[in-house]
Chains A and B, each alone.
Chain A
Amino acid sequence: MKSQTDGIYDEVLDFIRHPVEGRFDTLALRVFSFQFDRNPSYRRYCEAKDQTPDTVRSWREIPAVPTAAFKELDLVCDRPQKVFLTSGTSQGPSKRGRHSVPRLDIYRASVLPNFTAHLLPDLAELRMLLLAGSPALWPHSSLTHMMEVVRQEYGGPDSAYYITEAGLDLDGLSRSLREVCEQNKPVMLAGVTLAFHQFLEHCQVHRMAFRLPPGSRIMDTGGFKGQKINLSPAELYRRYEIVLGIPQTHIVNEYGMTEMGSQFYDNVLADYLNGLSRPRHKRVPPWVQTRVVDPETLEERPAGSTGMLRHYDLANCGSVMALQTEDIGHTVGDGFEVTGRASGSEARGCSLLIEEILRTQ
């Protein structure tokens, strides 16, 4: 049975499936109006800022909610079908961010075409070696949910998760990769950067390297957030190339967050297959808009200048569409690149950084 609110959800679903140029603004304003009505916490925040459906004229003016607020409040418009939790490693279990999703079909609709466009533009199916926990192991992880959607849709035989209760199954993964090399059929390795890093270190120690079959690709995500690993993306990709034999054109970084229904992917594989040569950057799907704003003035930064990333994601129609992230970046062409994270925590002298001390608790 459909509730009265399914109207806006269905509209968004329709737009994600069949984006129409120029319609984002209208739909975004309708979603804002809906969220303003359905979400008292968000409404009061907007009212306090004097930015309400009566005064907001463009999607750019929709009040953005800081992603950290998902730790404090339930920001949802309807009864959720699923609640994703942030890993919350640094602030203990009570301070995990919660993203409640009333309609998983919208989530799925956003995941699939975007993934296909950037990781599978050339193939219908691929064996997936997933460097993540399975849905049973990581039931609250949005990343695992996303991967499972993709695996069910495009994962070839023997696709599997390689993180177990005991951690990353280094031997299992090595065995699978040897098998892949023998079978000579391309595969996709997808998962968290930290797990990739662990595997690379393992390979280095055991003097292992693979030449994965041509067409094989990597999707990594998450970076080294909160870890004391000092490795630039360029250096990391070079190691992927050396240890796994996958060229840079086939290494696609994903940027996503628990609080957001849609993801962003690097352009490199799609561009390579289309014969384009552009700098690596994140592509923005048609149902998302991203702005780079100055944290002091909140004005949009000029093209190429650094600022805070703000995303307006229609796939978040059941929670909050306008998100103020903690990520720092700049525009590249019609996309963007992430270059850092907010930190009041520069360890200067004897003043102290928040994460550092919380980690010691």
Chain B
Amino acid sequence: MTNPITLDGFFLPPPIKVTTFTKLEFGPVQIRLPVLTATTLSDVINQLLTAQEQYLSKQSTPAILEMIDAAVARWLKPDDPAREIAERVLPSITGLSPAMIRLGLTRMLEGYRRDELYKILRHELGDAHLLDEFQPKKENLPGLTRAVGPRITTNILAGNIPGLGIADLIATLLTKSACVCKVSSHEPLSPALFAQTLVQVEPRLAYCLAVLGWSGGHPEAKSLEEVAFDRSELVTATGSDETVTAVRQAAAQSQPVSGRFIGYGHRVSLGLIGREALDNLKSVAQAAALDVAMYDQQGCLSPHLFYVETGGDHFPRQFAKALAEELKRLEHELPRGTLDTPTSARLHQIRSVAEIKQADGEEVIVFGSETGTLWTVIYEADPAFVLSPLYRTVRVKPIDDLMHVIPLLELWRPYLQAAGIAVSEPRRVLLAEALARAGLNRLCPVGRMQQPPVGWPQDGRRFIADRVRWVDLEMT
């Protein structure tokens, strides 16, 4: 028996103090969160607004980038104390395997380096200094323009991917906005842990942040939400459709009409593999397996299924078999995490139903881990887009032409996020155009689905640009 570890899932700027706490239990790990009153939260927000005005609003974009980069650089070192805690504790919190946490954090953080963030600012705003001062407009339009971030932003964070909340925190600071983060009960650790690292880099920057927790939907949470939303110029929410809808409604009631809301709800992704890509069966299967295995398919960028084109050197069912082999290999390299009984039972049920259909002579082939539900590939001739129960369960469906996938996606249009595509150069653009019109927001190579570049258009939105307002200075 290891001793229970208790860690703080919150971060408050001094001198704010809280005396009552609640604990979330994750096996041997306990995460402590403060029990807040509306008055305390109001004090927090006053504190943040002062810090924003006196410090953050006066920092240049390069200076902020430098500080964020310093914190990220620390987390990228395996011996960094905060990184070490994250790696040790996140497996208990998320259920993901330690190897998965390690790989996931590294890949994610690499995107938040200075150069990457700088490029995305330039790409989205046209000029990386538009958040610092007025700049001449492009195309010889008269006058100057600049971007101004909210004074304060409230981010309601999701917990499906470990470390995901750090992205919201970084985006908020880049807009020179003070930041209230409400952590998810599924992953209440990394935002506060990252804030602690920022303290070491530059306390004045860190004190523009507050990381808190409350149970959305509970009556006592209502007064807290009212305070947070009323005073935030921007509210963002990532999570289930239910959560996002609830936050949107609450924000609409509390915010002035000019207040902004950005919601990121349920999304699904898929893979499309052209017949020509099957020439390199092993490498495309390897890439697809990584997309399935990453975060045990818990991300909105995780593929639910792969459509594989017929008419190539290999049959789609050979792809299914190759994908199964690669998932088996990853079973050792990047093990799946632990599941609770209801989830595990669901996977068992899905697999058994496919097995009985296969036995009954339907065009179904099941490939699965020998023991348990560690991974399952179901080859199925029925072309319908069906959702996966996730946790490394994926369907492979043959299709005579990838363009024929488009009508199958119609029903899912509001939920589509990314497509991993493996086709030859000449076909890519045509397919991409069709997928873009079908509702997808990100088109990437198979094998890169769960390694999005920073600033990828999540839910079709821009990372920084959607968080700012524009101010014009007309000279004549």
Contacts and interface: CB of A to CB of B under 8 A. Distances in A.
Q: Chain B interface mostly helix, strand, loop or mixed? A: mixed
A1 interface: no
Max chain A Cβ within 10 angstroms of own Cβ: one of B298, B302, B352, B393: B352
A69 B302 contact: no
A342 interface: yes
A328 B345 CA distance: 8
B345 A41 contact: no
Contact of A73 (B242, B341, B356, B372): B356
Contact of B345 (A44, A308, A349): A308
A48 B355 contact: yes
Interface string B417-439: 10000000000000000000000
Given A345-B389, A351-B298, A351-B390, A295 B373 contact: yes
Nearest to A361: B411
B411 A344 contact: no
B341 A47 contact: no
A105 B287 CA distance: 57
A341 interface: yes
B266 A356 contact: yes
A235 to B, nearest CB: 17
Given A348-B186, A357-B387, A69 B353 contact: yes
Interface string A18-61: 00000000000000000000001100110111000000000000
A360 to B, nearest CB: 9
B16 interface: no
Given A307-B341, A347-B242, A45 B268 contact: no
B297 interface: yes
Interface stretch (B131-139, B233-241, B319-327, B460-468): B233-241
Given A45-B356, A48-B359, A342 B371 contact: no
A249 interface: no
Nearest to B388: A344
B350 A344 contact: yes
B372 A41 contact: no
Contacts of B341: 295, 306-308, 328, 340
Given A44-B359, A69-B356, A295-B341, A349 B347 contact: no
A295 B345 contact: yes
B271 interface: no
B219 interface: no
A351 B417 CA distance: 11
Contacts of B391: 344
Max chain A Cβ within 10 angstroms of own Cβ: one of B345, B350, B357, B411: B345
A68 interface: yes
B356 A41 contact: yes
B358 interface: yes
B373 to A, nearest CB: 6
B360 A344 contact: no
Nearest to A354: B387
Contacts of A48: 355, 358-359
Given A41-B356, A296-B372, A297-B372, A349 B387 contact: no
Contacts of B305: none
Interface string B31-63: 000000000000000000000000000000000
Interface of B: 158-161, 164, 184, 186, 238-242, 264-268, 297-300, 302, 339, 341-350, 352-353, 355-361, 371-373, 387-391, 393, 411-412, 415, 417
Closest 4 CB pairs of A and B: A349-B160, A344-B389, A350-B300, A342-B345
Given A41-B359, A68-B353, A297-B372, 5 more contacts: A73-B356, A296-B344, A328-B342, A346-B343, A350-B240
Interface of A: 40-41, 44-45, 47-49, 65-69, 72-73, 295-298, 306-308, 324, 326, 328, 340-352, 354, 356-357, 361
19 contacts: A40-B360, A66-B356, A68-B353, A72-B353, A295-B345, A295-B373, A296-B371, A297-B371, A326-B349, A342-B343, A345-B346, A348-B159, A349-B186, A349-B238, A349-B299, A350-B267, A352-B240, A357-B415, A361-B411
